[in-house]
Amino acid sequence: MTTKRIGGIDLSVSLINTKFMLNFTVGPVQSSDAVRAIGAEQVPYFRTEEFSELMLENERLLKKFANAPNDSKAVFMTCSGSGGMETAIMNCLTKDDKALVINGGSFGERFVELLSLHGIPFTEIKIERGKALKPKHLTPFDGKGYTAFLVQKHETSTGVHYDMDLVSEFCKRNGCFMIVDTISSFLCDPFDMAALGVGVMITGSQKALACPPGVALMILAPSALIRIKKTKCCCQYLDLKLALKNQERGQTPWTPAVGILRQINARLKEIDSMGGAETEISRTSHLASYFRARIKEFDLPFEIISESLSNAVTPLHPTTQSAYEIFLKIKNEYGMWVCPNGGDLRDSVFRVGHIGCLTEADYDRLINAFVDLREKSFI
């Protein structure tokens, strides 16, 4: 057991204050100073030309960072990422579809629940938790008349990043409409919406966009726009026909989360000025590698459980202590949040995120806390 620490970082409990908690969860995450400064401003009235311009700029930058196909549209829904997932299903799929859905964790499970609720015929492809998607999972469904495919690009609950090329090739071969939950992977891992032929992509304000939660961002390819036109949405609030019509002039049908949309604008421009999506992805990738190398270097009693990692998060199985107890200890005694898991992974897995405004020094602090816990025989 090594007892060395990364130098000079004071871990004394007296420094803990919720205002200065270090946040390694996968959302909400830490925001930049520019984003937080907007949070302190008065929220402006929004049925104005000025706000419309901001919304159109948000649309333009979001589409740019996803490499959205020509003639795509983006909309900004005031709801959670899960609300965005349901919006996609309600507006793009019908009882005439035959959908395939990848279920490798709690977000895949959510897609399954939503398809059931909305009466969309579907087949579920169960992937063992922590395992990668492989050709063998898809080939049995080739040529079977499937019309739609739903997948998490990154199953956040287990930290598994699925092979999108594999899915894309299957969808192109079979003429499937692709709905991709990129909620936790957008701006963390490369994503080329046009090349993959994705119909709908969904992300959230509180992941790599590092703004407060409250807004689901969606990009709708021309193939989605055709489907939306033909589909009757059962919910007015989440009706994409209304959202699209209003977004034409940079507005929304209902009062949106104006403050968060202004923060998204600052953040998108920040990313743009730093070099765009690629730069942000390599920043995240660097932090993920840094943390993973330290876990190894300090020989911590954690196993990385995912066969196919995203840059967004490192899922860890602690071999000597309950994962949830580690989450509580790190929160209450070290002033940091790692991300606990719910359900039956509660005791076996916790996750460390690499999104938001974080630095190597922040990870040093977390590693030192783990080392400290080992010295105290807690882990």
Write out the residues near its own copies by the rule CB under 8 A: 18-19, 21, 23, 25, 27-28, 30-31, 36-37, 39-48, 50, 78-83, 86-87, 90, 113-114, 117, 204, 206, 212-214, 234-238, 253-260, 331, 337, 339-340, 342
Return the number of the residue (27 or 197) whose C-beta is nearest its own copies: 27
CA 125 → CA 141, 174, 241, 251, 326, distances in Å? 10, 16, 31, 38, 32
How is residue 315 written in tokens?
A: 């899922």
Amino acid letter, 242: L
Is 72 within 8 Å of 222 (Cβ atoms)?
yes
CB 70 within 8 A of CB 221: no
CB of 107: closest distance to its own copies in angstroms?
Answer: 11
- Shortest reach from residue 130's CB to its own copies, in Å: 21
Handedness of CA 117, 75, 72, 210 (dihedral sign): negative
CA angle at 266 for the pair 260 and 271, rounded to the nearest 5°: 120
Tell me the closest approach of the beta carbon of residue 237 to its own copies, in angstroms.
4
Nearer to its own copies, 121 or 276 (CB): 121
Q: Which is nearer to its own copies, 253 or 301 (CB)?
A: 253
* Chain mean position to CA 343: 19
Helix (H) or strand (E) holding 50: helix 49-65
Q: Which is nearer to its own copies, 298 or 370 (CB)?
A: 370
- Cβ distance to its own copies smaller for residue 35 or 171: 35
Smallest distance from its own copies to CB 279, Å: 23
The contacts of residue 60 (CB under 8 Å, 6+ apart) are: none
Q: Which is nearer to its own copies, 88 or 133 (CB)?
A: 88
Minimum CB separation from its own copies for residue 211, in Å?
Answer: 9
- Structural contact between residues 9 and 363, judged by C-beta atoms closer than 8 angstroms: no
CB of 86 to its own copies, least distance (A): 5
Q: Which is nearer to its own copies, 121 or 213 (CB)?
A: 213
Burial of 267: CB neighbours in 10 Å, binned 0-12, 13-18, 19+:
buried
Nearest-approach distance from CB 77 to its own copies, in angstroms: 9
CB of 300 to its own copies, least distance (A): 21
E-strand ranges in the chain read 22-23, 73-77, 99-103, 122-126, 148-152, 154-155, 160-161, 177-181, 200-204, 216-220, 302-304, 313-318, 336-337, 339-340, 350-353
Task: Report the C-alpha gap between 73 and 59 in whole angstroms.
Answer: 7
Given the complex with its own copies, which of 197 and 340 has the nearer CB atom?
A: 340
